[in-house]
Every structure is written in C-alpha cells, then in structure tokens.
Amino acid sequence: MSSGSERGDSQVHARRGPAERVGDVLARLLETTGLSRRHDERQLLESWAEIVGERVARFSRPVDLSNGVLTLEADNAVWRQELTLLLPLIAKRFNELHGEGSVREIRWHHRSTRRRAGDAAR
C-alpha cells in the first residue's frame, strides 16, 4: 500500500516542461487577459504635462484612456472651457507623441464638487 506522502511527492515532481521566468508568465497573463493593453493606455496619461504644458496640467488631468477615448477633468468651468478649445490640438499632440489613433475622441469626466488635495493652495 502506498503512503500519502509518496503520492504527494510524485505530484510535486510532475512538470509540464522547463521552468519559466516569473516575468514571462506575468507578461503572458497580462496579454491574455487584455491587461497589457490597458496598462499601455494608462502609461500614455503620464505624458499629460508634456502635451498641454505645466501650467494647464496644474488645473486639469487625464482621468482615463480606453480604446482611443481620452477622458479629461478640469478644476473649474474656466479651465474646462479653455481645454475644450484646445481639444483638437491635444488629440493631435497625443497622436504625434504616441502614434496615430492613440486618441480618437475626448470626453469630459463629471466629478463631484469635492476639491482635490492641494486645491486650497492654488
């Protein structure tokens, strides 16, 4: 009669192939779940200040970029109006910097009236 530990040992040593690097496994997992593309889109948002300039970036921010749709938020109606006039230029700069089609559409995010941390200093 075989013991439970012998059975467990044989299962532990049964491999499907050579060991894989954790980074390779994670990269494949991100790719198959679609999270790799989502991560790449989120990374594009890091270039906001470069695209609109430091001054405009202090009063506005990209909230999301998904499937070519960029969602923006501004601190107040004045900055939202200013950015609305700049939307074609913003899309053009994103596409020049990150590739044609990176931004196909821009929408506004309607946030609550809660102020961001640091707004009082402005």
* pLDDT tens figures, 87-109: 999 999 999 988 899 899 999 99
pLDDT score at 23 = 80
Threshold 0.85, pTM exceeds: no
Radius of gyration of the chain, Cα coordinates, nearest whole angstrom: 23
Phi-psi bin for 116: left (phi > 0), alpha (psi -120 to 50), beta? beta
* pLDDT tens figures, 28-79: 876 776 665 655 666 778 899 999 999 999 999 999 988 899 999 999 999 9
Identify the CA nearest to 103 among candidates 73, 75, 62: 62
- The domain limits of the chain are 4-121
* pLDDT tens figures, 12-32: 555 677 888 888 777 787 677
